[in-house]
Amino acid sequence: MTKVFNSVVCTICGCLCDDLEVTVENNEIVKMKNGCAVCEAKMVHGYKSEERILKPHVRKDGKLVPVTMDEAIHKAAQILTDAKYPLLFGWTSSASETQHVGVELAEELGSALDNCCSVCHGPSVMATQEIGIPTATLGQIRHRADLIVYWACNPWSSHPRHVERYTAFTDGRFEKSEFKDYVQKLKAKSGQKKVAAAIRRTRVRYQPPPRPQTALVEAPPQTLAKDGRRMVVFDVMKTMTAEVADYFVQVEPNRDYEIFGALRCLVNDQELDVDTVGGVPVDYLKEIADVMVNAEFGAIFFGLGLTQSVGRFRNVELAIALTRDLNRKTKFVVSPMRGHFNVTGANTVFAWQTGYPFALDFSQGYPQYNPGEFTAIDLLRRGDNDATLVISADPGAHFPKGAMQNMVKHPLITINPDWNAISRLGDVVFPTQWCGIEQGGTAYRMDSVAITLKKVVEAPKGVPSDEEIVKRILEEVKVIKANKAEKEDTGKQVLQETAAPKKRGSKTLKKEL
């Protein structure tokens, strides 16, 4: 039985490409069209790999053993209620419906609540809270942008279809695709290679053209001044994205802040008294500033290179400030390249329920926000929390070792579809459905456009959705708490009853006296 699904949404990165064509045979995806390599890896191979968790497991005597769902739920709820200060972390590969229940669970527990945003674009969110952000949906950029700047990101690897769907290689109403140019460039390149090979064959020693000695950066090419779409890449190393760009600027590591500052000066018609900034000659920066100011509509996309390098949210702040300055001269927008497919959703859902996007704490009965205090890494580094629930994320592979070592000291509950690093470390391990393959739901694209995920195959028997698991844990927590309160009440009553005769006794004593 073959069934073809159209307009299926990819659940890899923040691009949320929704044009996949998925062929399903006997409840198994056999073919996928339009998606990128990473999408293919997940949708056609990865989701049905042998690494799949099919049953709940609980660690007994150091070994994970399969248990019933009821037992796992009870165990998890028990761990969470017993803990003084649990941390609920992850959420970014879950649908927003699950995130929604997650906030309620955190509130009920009075726990800390954080999502993967804190280790990817948390600083971007903080920068936005500092100075706002001029941004746009991706289609606006597709239709209008004639200058695309990728800063400290490599969409070719992390968001493989970003360039082809939303920016330089796509046709918009007012701007045409640059794809042809790119093909020509490729041809020219392979031509060069052929020439080089021919030269080698004739045993003439090939001499590369001389490069400027002052910096690693190549001089801006003529193509920057052309009409139509241009693409500029700033990065510390030459990536694949940089190769397809019209111009690549190699920045020294941790020097983005300075370059933004220099560009802001140049855009605002200031003079710089130095020759190079962050490894880039000021003359080149001047040229880029010129291109920026003369663009009809420019878009800056920035990645983790800014948020994880020295300066962190201050780097992003300057990227936004540069964009603001440019808006006085032309139209410019800036946007973070959000990673997990629903990390934007986590920020969005948390924000509408509590006012805050991540780094939350409910220990006071109301939501509190403080990155650096309630962010997962900081809680772990200080050893503040005494139990952790990780859902749809893999800090096992993506947190620094030190933080993880503290996490595994305390009970760990995991909710993930497969045996990733964190599931392997868990004490209570839940199986769950693949969001966007075996269950539907809602996800928010990097520009916070909500898109409905599709269910294309049935999940293995007995594997529930993560929403259901979190809901059941929440119910169980409520039950345990109610029982506890009851016990305390009866305990108090017993105390009072035992205390009462004493009182009476003292009264009678008084009387007697």
Partner 1 sequence: MVEQKLRVTLITGRTIEQGVGKEMGKGSPEYFDSAAVCFLDPVDIKRLGLKSGANVKVTSPYGSVIVKAKRYTRGTMSGMVFMPCGLWANSVCGSNTDSIGMPTFRGFTVEVEPAPDMPVLTLDELLKQEFGK
Partner 2 sequence: MTEVLIKNGFVFDPLNNIDGQKMDIAIKDGKIVKKVSNERNAKVIDASGLTVMAGGVDIHSHIAGSEVNLGRLIRPDDHVKDVVKKTALTRGGTGYSIPSTYVTGYRYSKMGYTTVMNPSMAAMKARHAHEELNDVPMIDKASFTLLGDWWFALENIAKGDLEECARHIAWMIRATRSYAIKVVNPGGLESWGFGRNVHSIDDEVPNFCITPRDIITGMAKVNTMLNMPHTVHLHTNNLGVPGNYKTTIDTMNALESVYTGDKPIGHITHIQFSSFAGDNWAHFKSGAEEIAKYLNAHNHLTVDIGQVTFADTTTMTADGPFEFALYELGGHNKWVNSDVETESSGGIIPFHFKRKNAVNAIQWSIGLELSLLIKDPWKWFMTTDHPNGGPFFHYPRVFAWLYSSKAREATLKNCNKKAQKKSLLPSIDREYTLYELAIITRAGTAKALGLKNKGHLGIGADADVSIYNINPETTDIAKSYKPVRKAFGNAAYTIKDGEIVVKDAEIVATPSGRTMWLDVQTKEPCRIDDKIKSKFKDYWTIEFDNYPVTDHYLKVPEKIAIKASV
- Residues in touch with partner 2 (CB under 8 A): 6-7, 9, 18-19, 96, 100, 104, 107, 125, 128-140, 142-144, 165-166, 171, 173-174, 296-297, 324, 327-328, 330-331, 333, 347-349, 351-357, 362, 364-369, 442, 444, 448-452
Scanning residues 46 to 85, which ones bind partner 1 (CB under 8 A)?
Answer: 46, 49-51, 62
Q: Which of 56, 102, 278, 396: binder of partner 1 (CB under 8 A)?
A: 396
Residue for token pair 């600083």: 123
Token pair, residue 130, equals: 């500092």
Pairing of strands 57-60, 147-151: unpaired
Of how many residues is the chain composed? 513
Scanning residues 200 to 259, which ones bind partner 1 (CB under 8 A)?
Answer: 216, 236-240, 242-243, 248, 250, 253-254
The smaller minimum CB distance to partner 1, of residues 52 and 331, is found at 52
C-alpha to C-alpha distance for 337 and 27, rounded to whole angstroms = 34
Collapse the DSSP code of 213 into the 3-class scheme (helix H, G, I; strand E, B; otherwise coil) and give the result: coil
φ/ψ (deg, to 5) at 423: -60, -40
- The region of 310-318, 448-456, 467-475, 502-510 touching partner 1 under the rule CB under 8 A is 310-318
The one of partner 1, partner 2, none whose footprint includes residue 82, by CB under 5 to 8 A per kind, is: none
- The region of 44-52, 134-142, 173-181, 467-475 touching partner 1 under the rule CB under 8 A is 44-52
The one of partner 2, partner 1, none whose footprint includes residue 33, by CB under 5 to 8 A per kind, is: none
CB 403, min distance to partner 1, A:
4
The one of partner 2, partner 1, none whose footprint includes residue 258, by CB under 5 to 8 A per kind, is: none
For 187, residues 6+ apart whose C-beta sits below 8 A from its C-beta are none
Q: Does 260 bind partner 1 (CB under 8 A)?
A: no
Q: How far is CA 339 from CA 10, 343, 346, 414, in A?
A: 13, 7, 12, 21
Identity of the residue numbered 386? D
C-alpha to C-alpha distance for 42 and 254, rounded to whole angstroms = 33
CB 468, min distance to partner 2, A:
16
CB 117, min distance to partner 1, A:
9
Start-end of H helices in 202-303: 240-244, 256-267, 282-294
C-alpha to C-alpha distance for 481 and 471, rounded to whole angstroms = 15
Token pair, residue 45, equals: 């191979």
φ/ψ (deg, to 5) at 377: -60, -40
Q: Which of 31, 286, 329, 424: binder of partner 1 (CB under 8 A)?
A: 424
- The region of 19-27, 135-143, 284-292, 413-421 touching partner 1 under the rule CB under 8 A is 413-421
The one of partner 2, partner 1, none whose footprint includes residue 444, by CB under 5 to 8 A per kind, is: partner 2
For 346, residues 6+ apart whose C-beta sits below 8 A from its C-beta are 91, 92, 94, 96, 99, 115, 116, 117, 357, 358
CB 411, min distance to partner 2, A:
25
The one of partner 1, partner 2, none whose footprint includes residue 134, by CB under 5 to 8 A per kind, is: partner 2
Token pair, residue 335, equals: 């946007």
What does the per-residue mask of binding to partner 1 show for 324-363, with x meaning CB under 8 A? ----------------------------------xx----
Q: Does 375 bind partner 1 (CB under 8 A)?
A: yes
Q: Which of 111, 420, 432, 465: binder of partner 1 (CB under 8 A)?
A: 420
Q: Does 129 bind partner 1 (CB under 8 A)?
A: no
Secondary structure letter of residue 210 according to DSSP? P
Neighbours of 184 (CB within 10 A): 10
Scanning residues 84 to 123, which ones bind partner 1 (CB under 8 A)?
Answer: 118-119, 122-123
The one of partner 2, partner 1, none whose footprint includes residue 154, by CB under 5 to 8 A per kind, is: partner 1
Q: Does 308 bind partner 1 (CB under 8 A)?
A: yes
The one of partner 1, partner 2, none whose footprint includes residue 290, by CB under 5 to 8 A per kind, is: none
C-alpha to C-alpha distance for 252 and 261, rounded to whole angstroms = 15
- Which of 392, 452, 486, 410 has the alpha carbon at shortest distance from 90? 392
The one of partner 2, partner 1, none whose footprint includes residue 355, by CB under 5 to 8 A per kind, is: partner 2
Q: Three-class SS string for 171-239?
A: CCCCCCCCHHHHHHHHHHHHHHHHHHHHHHHCCCCCCCCCCCCCCCCCCCCHHHHCCCCEEEEEECCCC
The one of partner 1, partner 2, none whose footprint includes residue 347, by CB under 5 to 8 A per kind, is: partner 2
